[in-house]
Amino acid sequence: MDEYESHKAELQRRLAELDRLAVIGHENAKPVELDQNSVGRLSRMDALQVQAMSQETERRRQTERIRITNALKRIDSGDYGFCLKCDEPIPDKRLALDPAVPTCIKCAENGQTDR
């Protein structure tokens, strides 16, 4: 399992970065004030667009968080580095590119999910 310590450290670094970004993005996800007197129509539309983009970004962060958490669990259980679909080893180069990847290239190309 020592061979995956660098992957584990990278995954933990990514989780910390996701947490940092979530704090920064929290302000943009707040509800938009619709008071006609304080914000013009175009400003409200811009604020709504920023809010929608922030919410989608947060959804993607949560998806990435799940992928990373699952990869860390696989490292701890000894299942890391093996495809979740076919149980074949995932090439080291693929894991180096994305340590959270759960499938081999063959299964990913066959339309299997990469979560």
In contact, 107 and 89? CB cutoff 8 Å: no
pLDDT of residue 114: 47
Give me the residue spans of the domains in the chain.
2-80
Q: Which residue has the higher pLDDT, 11 or 27?
A: 11
Question: Taking all residues of the chain, what is their mean pLDDT, rounded to a whole number?
Answer: 84
Grouping H, G, I as helix, E, B as strand and the rest as coil, residue 15 is helix
Q: Which residues are CB-contacts of 104 (< 8 A; sequence separation ≥ 6)? A: 83, 85, 86, 88, 89, 90, 91, 94
Q: Which residue has the higher pLDDT, 50 or 79?
A: 79
Asked if the model's pLDDT at residue 61 lies above 70, the reply is yes
Question: Which of 50-59, 61-70, 90-99 is predicted least confidently?
Answer: 50-59
Report the distance separating Cα 103 and Cα 23, nearest Å: 31
Report the distance separating Cα 73 and Cα 79, nearest Å: 8
The pLDDT tens digits for 25-44 are 666 555 655 555 555 556 77
In contact, 47 and 35? CB cutoff 8 Å: no
